[in-house]
Amino acid sequence: MGALKKIYKGTIEGNVIHLDENTGFSVGTHALVTLKTLSEATQEDIQSRQLRLLDKGFSLGKKLYTNREDLYAR
């Protein structure tokens, strides 16, 4: 299996890390963990950046039709 890189957010309590979402990995899967603390300002910056990306949307390369007649004229 190839290397998988995904970022998860969680909380550390002692030697245990509680993740905010399910990883989907089976129990006993070995993983390399890199820790980075997040300040409140950093979290707000990340959230606002993600919201801007969602508002901008994604170009899927589709031709946009302004009305029904344009669609049927193809």
* Distance (Å, whole) CA 74 – CA 63: 11
pLDDT at residue number 43 = 80
pLDDT at residue number 42: 82
Query: Averaged over 9-38, what is the pLDDT?
Result: 86
Average pLDDT for 35-59 = 83
Domain ranges of the chain: 10-72
Distance between start and end Cα atoms, the chain: 45
The answer to whether residues 18 and 11 touch, using CB atoms and an 8 Å cutoff, is yes
Cβ 27 vs Cβ 20: under 8 Å: no
Q: What is the pLDDT of residue 3?
A: 64
Percent of the chain with pLDDT over 70: 93
| Both structure tokens of 29 | 């899967």
Whether the predicted pLDDT of 1 surpasses 60: no
